[in-house]
Amino acid sequence: MTTAGRADQPDQPDQPDQPDQPDQADQPDQCSYTLSVNGQEHELRGAWMGESLLYVLRNRLGLPGAKNACEQGECGSCSVLVDGELVCSCLVLAATAGGREIVTVEGLGAGERFTDVQVAFTETGAVQCGFCTPGLIVTVHDLLERNPRPSELEIREAISGNLCRCTGYGRILEAVETVRDARLAAASRAAPVAAGATRQEGAG
Amino acid sequence: MSYDCAVSVRVPDSLEELVTGLAADPGCELLAGGTDLMVEINFGRRRPASIMSLSRVTELKGWSEDAATGELVLGGALTYTEMLQPDLAGRLPALAQAARTVGSPQIRNAGTLGGNLATASPAGDTLPVLVALDAVVVVESADGRREVPVGDFVTGAKRTALRPHDVVHSVRVPTRRTRQEFLKVGTRNAMVIAVCSAAVVVDLDSCSVRVALGSVGPVPLRAHEAEELAGEVLDWDAGGVLAGDAHRDGALERFAGLVSAASRPIDDHRSTAAYRRHAVGVCARRALERVAA
Ligand SMILES: Cc1cc2nc3c(=O)[nH]c(=O)nc-3n(C[C@H](O)[C@H](O)[C@H](O)COP(=O)(O)OP(=O)(O)OC[C@H]3O[C@@H](n4cnc5c(N)ncnc54)[C@H](O)[C@@H]3O)c2cc1C
Ligand code: FES
Ligand code: FES
């Protein structure tokens, strides 16, 4: 765990550097609370009250999937779901997130297996350095849950809060469209009558 | 919800608990979506001694219609995502348009109307819309409730009429027959702080036009002379539309000029004052064309 202050380490996006307090529950600005992450309860003891959820996930719970690049809501690499809402975990005060259901990229899909979104990202070349990828994966899962048939414009708007410095976004769009089309095709195979009534076979 | 650090971070379950808690500890910082406050905390610019979260105060959530007055009552903790839902967006399209330009989906899911008002940034995107809609801020505290017109609520750049133990309870928007539009200029379509913005409301009940400008002064500014001109050139008998005659283009040009003249922009890292002054006139003119064409 890092103990350095921001001023000493301005360029280390991978290490959130909020003040790390010793584990003594009796300091006035320390908190103990329970967080539910990916279906598991975690006890936090003597954490500094100002810690962001991102910091707690990465540095206290050992869940490094959510990435830290800006700590100001601009990059989306720390995206998680809180009670089913897509948010930047760097902007959630961890001590107020007790009793809420937190899902990180580690909690998507079943156990070790990659989700269809993760597979599509790797297969289309939407992953280069990979720093933005976990945040985008969470965002794309959220998008396709809410809107199974997003247009290109809707995809662009949905991922507008996730910055990628490597890919130029073309392959990311392609990956999302691949999953969208595959899911729609699977749904129409599962319910051919209903799907055939509204659109042509195979058109999805 | 109880935490070991009950003194420093609290998550009250009701408005009553919130305002009595605030009265006892007026230095306490309120936390809504965290999209302004958490940035300050993450960067060590603010280190509040105590924080109260609004996340469980149901009285501040969502929106409703006041059965007695017909006004829309927008909760202090209404999120941008909620402003974009068809029910509310259909009633307040300019507010929805402003909400759609805020940040990103992640920011819109968390950020709230009350937070935008309390932060009172000159670039706060809901502010010019609320001014153009003639909205009133309902402020609640342990001493009771008071109503402050939005124009008086924002007293300066990042300054408001809120006292330390006050909460933005809701915003009341009069229901009139209106057509409304909001336009914003920035360097991208997403995740961008306004270089300038303009909200235009054509009020068919009072046969008048209200124009409010964002990011071109310390507070949202009304463009009174432009409003008067628009009120004169719209054909109210025909439903508040611009007459399609030869004077139309000249009138729109004068309207844009009066809007620019009403702005009080500064040079900063986002734009020059000269560009802002020009662009805000263009925004308002296009907005008027859209709602009165
Ligand atoms: C990446 C990013 C992009 C952004 N883009 C935009 C943008 O395009 N346009 C724009 O206008 N803003 C933007 N913002 C700023 C911010 O999202 C808005 O100002 C938002 O409305 C703040 O609301 P919040 O609920 O997150 O406030 P919080 O951060 O929770 O609180 C902000 C302040 O308001 C006070 N407060 C909150 N609620 C109340 C209440 N009910 N009563 C009294 N005080 C209260 C808090 O005590 C605190 O001082 C952006 C922020 C980020 C991080
Ligand atoms: S680290 Fe949270 S948005 Fe960049
Ligand atoms: S793959 Fe490198 S930032 Fe997106």
Q: How many domains does chain B have?
A: 3
A75 Cα: distance to centroid of ligand 2 (angstroms): 5
Q: Which residue, of B118, B147, B173, is where some domain finishes?
A: B173
- Classify residue B1: in a domain, yes or no: no
Q: Is residue A94 pLDDT above 60, yes or no? A: yes
Catalogue all structural domains in chain A, each as residue range(s) with its CATH number: 12-107 (3.10.20.30), 109-189 (1.10.150.120)
B260 and B242 belong to one structural domain: yes
Question: For residue range A168-183, what is the model confidence (pLDDT) as tens digits?
Answer: 999 999 999 999 999 9
Question: For residue range A99-123, what is the model confidence (pLDDT) as tens digits?
Answer: 999 999 999 987 668 999 999 999 9
Question: For residue range B265-293, what is the model confidence (pLDDT) as tens digits?
Answer: 999 999 999 999 999 999 999 999 999 98
Q: What is the CA radius of gyration of chain B?
A: 20
Q: Which amino acid is at A89?
A: S
pLDDT at A1: 33
- Kindly list the strands in the beta sheet with B167-173, ordered across the sheet, starting from the edge strand earlier in the chain: B63-65, B72-75, B167-173, B136-141, B144-149
ipTM: 0.94
- Under a CB-based contact definition with an 8 Å cutoff, are residues B196 and B271 in contact? yes
Q: Is residue B246 pLDDT above 80, yes or no? A: no
pTM above 0.90, yes or no: yes
Residue B285 in 3-state DSSP? helix
Q: Which residue, of B173, B197, B216, is where some domain finishes?
A: B173
B88 and B16 belong to one structural domain: no
- Classify residue B2: in a domain, yes or no: no
pLDDT at B209: 98
The residues lining ligand 1, judged by C-beta closer than 6 Å to any ligand atom, are A 72-74; B 29-37, 39, 54, 76, 101-103, 107, 110-112, 114-116, 118-119, 123-125, 162, 167-168, 191, 193
B118 and B138 belong to one structural domain: yes
The whole-angstrom separation of Cα A92 and Cα A70 is 14
CATH number of B103's domain: 3.30.465.10
B219 and B166 belong to one structural domain: no
B151 and B255 belong to one structural domain: no
Cβ-based neighbour number of residue A119 at 10 Å: 16
Chain A residues within 8 A of B48 when measuring between CB atoms: 50
Beta-bridge partners for A31: A47
Question: For residue range A128-184, what is the model confidence (pLDDT) as tens digits?
Answer: 999 999 999 999 999 999 999 999 999 999 999 999 999 999 999 999 999 999 999
The whole-angstrom separation of Cα B259 and Cα B282 is 9
- Classify residue B40: in a domain, yes or no: yes
B159 and B259 belong to one structural domain: no
The whole-angstrom separation of Cα B293 and Cα B240 is 9
Question: For residue range B97-122, what is the model confidence (pLDDT) as tens digits?
Answer: 999 999 999 999 999 999 999 999 99
Domain housing B229: 178-291
Q: Do B8 and A29 touch (CB under 8 A)?
A: yes
B21 and B68 belong to one structural domain: no
- Classify residue B3: in a domain, yes or no: no
Residue in B8, B47, B81 closest to A28 by CB: B8
CATH number of B232's domain: 3.30.390.50
B183 and B264 belong to one structural domain: yes
Q: Ligand 1: which of B30, B51, B63, B159 to mutate, judged by most atoms within 8 Å of the beta carbon?
A: B30
Chain B residues within 8 A of A162 when measuring between CB atoms: 104
**A97 CA to chain B: closest CA distance, Å?**
9
